[in-house]
């Protein structure tokens, strides 16, 4: 599936807090609620202490969710070694952490050669300037607003200057925020300039996920400069 075009608002639920015994149906429920893509968290138990799933699960999900855009959030060490497996499984966007790779440029090249789009993320303690050499080569960036590895953490508002810096200097960059984002924190993200919103428990565990997504989309689109809203 092609990615949403242009720098517009994109909302993708993280399914970590979903009923993982019914993963495909939970993912479909999120898409039926108005999601633009699915944010699939891969954790290796080394880069972060938690462990989730790998490309075999993604490969099983792909035929059950045809046409759904899969963003792989690779919270792993040595992300280069996972590229081919995820491409074969049907991933669309492969986002790795700069802290987990000894050679981010080579990782980006391998991702693109495998036919996926490339993204890069940073943990809260990593300076935003570390992304600058990579920004011409990647399709979007993740600014973590919690420490990666667990769902349900408190949103770190002090990460918003990173988002603001990127938006002021890279007007058309897709900037994703991930961690503790929901109706209570979406305004801070939108005002700083984030346009790609990952929300886990706030959407997945909502009594009305469709309304939650609609509300967050409205906040982001109202905060965006007009040229960025054009599709």
In a domain, 60, yes or no: yes
**Residue 1 lies inside a defined structural domain of this protein:** no
pLDDT for 178: 96
Which regions of 90-208 does DSSP assign to beta strands (E)? Answer: 93-97, 117-122, 140-144, 174-178, 196-199
pLDDT at 39: 97
* Residue 212: both structure tokens together: 């939650």
153 is written with which tokens? 């953490």
Torsion of CA 143, 164, 37, 6, to 10 degrees: -140
Is 2 contained in some domain?
no
Q: Residues 96, 98, 101, 104: is their CA dihedral positive or negative?
A: positive
The pLDDT averaged over each successive group of 10 residues in the chain (231 residues) is 60 90 96 98 94 95 97 98 98 98 98 98 98 96 92 88 96 95 97 96 96 98 72 40
146 phi/psi in degrees, rounded to 5: -145, 170
Residue numbers of the domain that contains 23 = 10-229
CATH label of the domain that carries residue 55? 3.20.20.70
Six-digit token pair at 191? 């005002």
167 located within any domain? yes
Question: Which residues are known catalytic residues?
Answer: 41, 178
Tell me if 64 is assigned to some domain. yes
Is this structure's pTM higher than 0.95?
no
| Residue at 174 is within a domain | yes
Residue 52 lies in a domain: yes
pLDDT of residue 191: 96
Structural domain count, the chain: 1
pLDDT recorded at residue 151 = 65
Q: What are the tokens at 143?
A: 């600014």
- 174-198: burial string, b at 16+ Cβ within 10 Å, e else: bbbbbbbbbeebbebbbebbbbbbb
Give the pLDDT confidence score for residue 6 in this predicted structure: 43
Q: Is residue 32 part of a domain?
A: yes
């Amino acid at each position: 599936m092609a990615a949403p075009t242009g720098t517009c608002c994109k909302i993708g639920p993280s399914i970590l807090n979903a009923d993982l015994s019914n993963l495909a149906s939970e993912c479909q429920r999120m898409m039926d609620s108005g999601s633009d893509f699915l944010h699939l968290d891969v954790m290796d138990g080394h880069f972060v202490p938690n462990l989730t799933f790998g490309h075999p699960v993604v490969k099983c999900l792909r035929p059950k969710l045809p046409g759904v855009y899969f963003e792989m959030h690779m919270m792993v060490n040595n992300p280069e070694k996972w590229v081919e497996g995820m491409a074969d499984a049907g991933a669309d966007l492969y986002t790795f952490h700069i802290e987990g790779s000894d050679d981010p440029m080579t990782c980006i090249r391998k991702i693109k050669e495998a036919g996926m789009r490339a993204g890069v993320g940073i943990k809260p303690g990593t300076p935003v300037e570390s992304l600058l050499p990579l920004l011409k080569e990647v399709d979007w960036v993740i600014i973590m607003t919690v420490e990666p590895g667990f769902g349900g953490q408190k949103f770190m508002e002090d990460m918003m200057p990173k988002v603001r810096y990127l938006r002021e200097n890279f007007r058309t960059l897709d900037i994703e925020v991930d961690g503790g984002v929901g109706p209570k924190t979406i305004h801070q993200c939108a005002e700083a300039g984030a346009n790609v919103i990952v929300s886990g428990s706030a959407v997945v565990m909502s009594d009305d996920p469709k309304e939650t997504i609609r509300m967050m989309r409205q906040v982001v689109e109202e905060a965006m400069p007009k040229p960025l809203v054009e599709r």
